[in-house]
Structure 1
């Protein structure tokens, strides 16, 4: 699974920060308990860095002041330590009252184990405030098992000056145009793409997006049910990726390159040594931290459509963060989440650049021009696909990463990639 990616997102963009609302919140109608009866809600989160940690502590104080009978036990845990601790606790058949989740296959396993509460009825009056894309990772069989707080998408971040030098007037809209632009960049003596081949998860973005564009979102969802990735459209995704790989578009030494290291993918783009990278909304920040950053020369375009494919360019691929409620949690747990996700304070967090909009109408609050482009694309998205290494069970997601990395390295064929993923999926 792409654990490194999630750590990078946390450090670079202070991701997954929930902001609360004022003391004029939900009114304390969380349960039928007498107001004097004390209730404790344990909240596991990954807000260990500033300003997130202080913001969360303040929100907890506000909620407790408005609800004197409720104590929120705020438990911030470092990202990787959180995953390990949650795994240990859930294996014992328990879960915290509220805990961070990325949705997808891991959440599905927790639901199947009876560890997560169905909050469909509890959120019915306010779930309509969220955008459809933000909700998609937390809904199973038309039921809600978590609520979103942050969202993002993957797309191409590119160097406008290098594109102009290669004679490329505008970003490509189709896969054929994209391959032509790669050739133009190479002809101009410019490295077209930076890739962190060592870390594997960045490479899976290419195969996943091509599968979306060729097979369509419904096919990816169906593959999660019938565990069959050998259908022609999935093989075709690998064949299209091989078309790109055969052009040798990546920087020298890419197979040993990291993502956020001084000589890695982000720095290569940020220092102007490659024309583009396929990456999430945190890319501009990491490019500036690991390299110099591109300033006004940085641009963004969505993954192109594929001629004859069943998917369209307005369907987005990405992820985010949300919160699940433990099966045995008191009703006040959902009330606390509602309080935290009301528009005024959540929008303040968006304005601060801490998170991207998950509520309808928040997109105008995004001040950073690069993030504004992503936010607008998400608002207008006609469909959304969670990262495949999160959407599917962990072992399947890892095989996607491993097999696609092997295809990019030249040690697996498109057909072998499809068969390997299928074998693991059927064994789960």
Structure 2
């Protein structure tokens, strides 16, 4: 999430106000003249509040408006979702409506003929979305999914623990971050929480360092050249190793989950670690998995790297979206269009479940930290989707695996670069 992600990466209510029909085929009629019974398979990632409740409420509302429809929801956390959706799509099937991060994974599903082209049906409402939120779901001028969330990864930190360690303001450079890690350790505080078991949170560090050192074009060029052994990627690994060598993570981090009661999010939420590198959903998951920090929670963008070609205003992240399976009944598109009501999406934004994907929706952001994220996104000079979603699935998986080994000390920066390159060239 992408990791995500998710995540996690919240599957939410959707987009600009178009409500009902608008292009979908009429439902089949039974012999008695009423619509035939339909069961919609809905797969999503909303395992934590507030989106867990919001998603369930929207499903019930849709069923109330469409008595012939029963929604069967499969709700999975990030890694389980990635695994199960991959297995399902490899078998040549896709759920009727399913969460997607877009990018290379969605592109492979499209090429396999598993995803419905929504272009004609959603054309009237596309102008209501922000440009950045749509990009991951569009290929060759066609739209294959609609965004429900957009955001960026950054550091969420405990202001009180920073102050206790004598840190007056968040670090602006990577060198300052490493220095702050030393200060936090000296003050008896665990600097960073990490869900080592789940791997995807670790890839954020390597990806962001590669962005800050090489710039967003370096990551895009690597996708084309299938070469991750350039000096910028190796340097990213070296800088991550410099962090790992400081032993900044909580005890037992290699076996820790993300949203579990003793995982990464809860460690920060319960004041046991000073920060985590995570997406815009972090405050909601922290409240769900632990006590929550309230006003003590702060956010700062990933620091700049001295001498790097990337700008601190370049953002790394993504969001959540919904796609429709190629063989889904017409009601699946109706379900997505039901979510296309701006009032629904803005309500989810107000509750802190998602960030704006619609034009002019910024005022619905109530949380002070999420406002900072939204403002950072608005000023972003470049944007890079999560690497485990931007690249083909096998490449993304290798990034996650190799970076996890680097953090654990069992792979060198050069070996990470070579392993990812080898898988990329075999795709």
TM over 0.5: yes
Q: Which residue of 2 aligns with 1:354?
A: 353
Equivalent position SS for 2:273: coil
Equivalent position SS for 1:319: strand
Matched, 1:75 2:72: yes
Equivalent position SS for 1:44: strand
Matched, 1:16 2:14: no
Greater mean deviation of Cα atoms: 401-410 or 130-139: 130-139
1:90 positional shift:
3.6
Distance 2:327 2:259 in 1: 40
Selected match of 1:50 from 50, 53, 58: 53
Matched, 1:236 2:235: yes
Greater mean deviation of Cα atoms: 87-96 or 305-314: 87-96
* Alignment deviations for residues 163-201 of structure 1 (CA, whole Å, 9 cap, x no partner): 222222211122222222223323333332222223322
8 Å CA contact 1:238–1:414 kept in 2: the answer is yes
8 Å CA contact 1:155–1:301 kept in 2: the answer is yes
8 Å CA contact 1:30–1:331 kept in 2: the answer is no
1:371/1:9 CA distance change after superposition, 3 Å: same
Equivalent position SS for 1:252: coil
Distance 2:81 2:406 in 1: 32
Distance 1:295 1:34 in 2: 48
Alignment of 1:34-49 (within 5 A): 42=40, 44-46=42-44, 49=52
1:42 positional shift:
4.2
Q: Which residue of 2 aligns with 1:411?
A: 410
Equivalent position SS for 2:316: strand
Distance 1:252 1:426 in 2: 37
Distance 2:281 2:25 in 1: 43
Distance 1:301 1:202 in 2: 17
Equivalent position SS for 1:50: helix
Q: Which residue of 2 aligns with 1:111?
A: 110
8 Å CA contact 1:98–1:325 kept in 2: the answer is yes
1:44/1:300 CA distance change after superposition, 3 Å: same
Distance 1:403 1:92 in 2: 27
1:324 positional shift:
1.8
8 Å CA contact 1:20–1:59 kept in 2: the answer is no
1:378 positional shift:
2.6
* Alignment deviations for residues 275-300 of structure 1 (CA, whole Å, 9 cap, x no partner): 21111223233334444332221111
Q: Which residue of 2 aligns with 1:270?
A: 269
Distance 2:219 2:20 in 1: 42
Distance 2:325 2:331 in 1: 12
Equivalent position SS for 1:156: strand
Q: Which residue of 2 aligns with 1:68?
A: none
Distance 1:263 1:157 in 2: 18
Distance 2:291 2:98 in 1: 36
Equivalent position SS for 2:156: strand
8 Å CA contact 2:241–2:406 kept in 1: the answer is yes
TM-score, normalisation: structure 1: 0.85
Provide the aligned C-alpha RMSD in A.
3.2
Distance 2:71 2:193 in 1: 40
* Alignment deviations for residues 325-362 of structure 1 (CA, whole Å, 9 cap, x no partner): 33455777556534422322221222233322111221
Equivalent position SS for 1:158: strand
Gaps of 5+ in 2: none
1:35/1:28 CA distance change after superposition, 3 Å: farther
Q: Which residue of 1 aligns with 2:166?
A: 167
Q: Which residue of 2 aligns with 1:287?
A: 286
Q: Which residue of 1 aligns with 2:311?
A: 312
Greater mean deviation of Cα atoms: 160-169 or 336-345: 336-345
